Amino acid sequence: MRIEVITTLPELFKPFVRMGVVGRAIQNGKLDFDIVNLRDYTHDAHRTTDDYAYGTGIGMVMKPEPIFEMFDDYLSKHSHPWVVFPSPQGKRFDQKKAIELSKREDVMFICGRYEGVDERVMTIVNEELSIGDFVLSGGETAVMIFVEAMARMIPGVVGKQESVENDSFYNGLLDYGHYTRPSEYRGMSVPEVLKSGNHAKIGKYLLKDALRRTMLKRPDLFLEHKFTVEEKAALLELFKEMHEKC
């Protein structure tokens, strides 16, 4: 897939595109990632992208012209992208949205700065997305979160598909607990079943652990979850075990 980030702070993305999952996705050709400096679409010596707000005069607003010129230039070379504007007014970003966006051919993120963006820019925006109920000074850090979550979902980007499918939220549940060597550490042991080599038993244990964690840590998710037949059976066992421990 292809992603463009439109920003006045392209430098912020330099390490982001070199390292980690996103860096690997780009190097492996799974992700075509372009950072566009919005100042390249200005015409004054100061490369101005903002101006005073009409009406109040309070704060600075991003001017429409560089954004529209960038967009026209883009459309003259490529087909129409899905345009996302990061904003605290947007719908809350979640795993479902990450999966949905990762299936799109071309997603463009337009990063706002200052107090906001001239409202007319919203005519080219397909959706506004938020990372939470707080206000950032710009959309750049939110875009890094969107792209990191999306990149994991592109087939072949994360080594093993199962490791993505077991991620928290992928199937509506939190991830189970993980262990590595040593088997004993400071009096704490790795659960015996994980060392048993019995894959059926291990699978059931991990499912019960994911259900237990979701129930205790995120009861809101647990109550909304549509349980499969397998999950219901695991839940019954889990309740029995919890009852025996009481």
Kindly list the catalytic residues: 88, 115, 152, 167
CA distance 50 to 65: 10
**Residue 135 or 188 with smaller CB distance to ligand ADE:** 135
Using H for helix, E for strand and C for coil, what is the string for 147-208? HHHHHHHCCCCCCCHHHHHCCCCCCCCCCCCCCCCCCEECCEECCHHHHCCCHHHHHHHHHH
What is the nearest approach in angstroms of ligand ADE to the Cβ of residue 136? 4
**Residue 83 or 158 with smaller CB distance to ligand ADE:** 83
CA distance 21 to 170: 17
**Residue 18 or 92 with smaller CB distance to ligand ADE:** 92
CA distance 190 to 181: 8
Binding site for ligand ADE (CB under 6 A): 86-88, 130-132, 134-136, 139, 142
**Residue 81 or 139 with smaller CB distance to ligand ADE:** 139
The helix/strand count (H/E) of the chain reads as 9, 10
Q: Report which secondary-structure segment, H or E, holds 224.
A: helix 219-224
